[in-house]
A and B are shown apart, each in its own frame.
Chain A
Amino acid sequence: MAGHGHSHAIDHDGPEVYLQFEDIDQQQESYVLGMWAFLVTEVMFFGALFFIYFLYRLKYQSDFHILSEHLNWKLGGVNTFVLLLSSFSMAMAVHFAQKNKKAWQLGALTVTLLCAFGFLVIKYFEYSEKISGGLVPNDQFKFHYHYAANADVARMFYSLYFVMTGLHGVHVIIGILCIGTLMGLIIKKHSLITDYIPTEMVGLYWHFVDLVWIFLYPLFYLIPK
């Protein structure tokens, strides 16, 4: 029997401890460590883009400020709140998974999923406004010089904007697929879900997605003079 005299966050049946691990703690730590190793690669992925952004913003601070004023900071703010809420509900889902409260866990995951979809809907409205305004930096780029910013800098700004927020959006979609899959496995009582670890791993990914947006929002929408 698992859990005698210990405050383990595991199911009464207990997950299987595989041959290469000393005990359940080491096994669970290795899963979390593996997820963090993947997240470090994601830091590298986004880190390079943040560096490029930093480089051009340092060089063209005033132009970036002018261009950022044409982004909808209110919609961006709503998106930020929605993602923070989704991060909170994801953390609650992990908490309920550790307490083995499946119904509450599924409820929290549903809230996370709804927030993720809400983020994408708001992003859709933002993008469609920019695409119809000719602000995609291709050969149809319709940059109006009365914005008083340099056209080349505007192209760079919008390139960075679409690449970084678009890549973030792709990560949100992947997160939706992961959360949906996790919910399906929990509902079907699949043998893969023996404890809270799968939920924690999906949660780590989702918190990272939120973390990236926490930096993206002020860097694009709230640039000071």
Chain B
Amino acid sequence: MAHSNDHKHGNGHEHHITSQGKLASTFLFLAIMMAATIGAAKFMPEPFHSKTIPMNIIAIAIAFVKAWAVVAVFMGVRYTTKLVRLYAIGGFVWFFLLFIMMADYGTRQWEPVRGWENVDASSLPRDPKRVEGLEDAKSRHEMVSPGASTPGEDHAAEGGH
């Protein structure tokens, strides 16, 4: 039948209309969370500001809270059917499962794989010749360090030594 005169609901579900007040309060919440993200990153007092792991956790936690608010209220997942919720949550579960690949990258230093040695990032060589596509290391040195008046200022030219 092209037109349905039967108003029986599929699975007894009535479509929810999110109120304007709820939408406005969610927007206000998101704006506050955004300010909190910036505040935590730029205006945190010094003992905490230098602590990498807690700062990363705070930033990601705030981002996830904001994402939850957008997905649950603005996208209506909170009020939708279980099947739609399954798809929505399933997609983000997939994203987390993607990080299983870290098992590969995290264990490469267990074997001598070139380029994945467990070295401090600041001791990486800064030899310009290692950069692809640049044939003349000297011209690159001249190109990239116009502000360096002495060789000592340019760490890259010395190859990180």
**What is the interface of chain A, defined by CB distance below 8 A to chain B?**
2-9, 14, 16-19, 22-26, 28-29, 32-33, 36-37, 39-40, 43-44, 47-48, 50-51, 54-55, 59-63, 73, 77, 80-81, 84-85, 87-88, 90-92, 94-95, 98-99, 139, 142-146, 148, 150-153, 155, 200, 203-204, 207-208, 210-211, 214-215, 217-218, 222-225
Contact = CB atoms under 8 A, between A and B. Distances in A.
Contacts of B26: 88, 91
B38 A85 contact: no
A145 B4 CA distance: 70
Interface of B: 1-4, 6-11, 13-15, 17-20, 23-24, 26-27, 30-31, 34, 37-38, 41-42, 49-50, 52, 55-56, 59-60, 62-63, 66-67, 70-71, 73-76, 80-81, 83-84, 87-88, 90-92, 94-95, 98-99, 101-102, 105, 121-122, 124, 126, 128, 130-131, 133-134, 143-148, 153-157
Q: Top 10 A-B pairs ranked by shortest CB distance?
A: A224-B55, A40-B91, A222-B41, A25-B10, A26-B10, A88-B27, A17-B4, A36-B87, A43-B91, A47-B95
B70 A214 contact: yes
A218 B95 contact: no
Nearest to B17: A98
Contacts of B146: 144
A2 B155 CA distance: 75
Contacts of A77: 34, 38
Contacts, number: 214
A7 B148 CA distance: 71
15 contacts: A9-B17, A14-B3, A19-B2, A23-B9, A29-B13, A29-B81, A47-B95, A51-B101, A139-B134, A151-B128, A152-B130, A153-B124, A207-B75, A224-B55, A225-B49
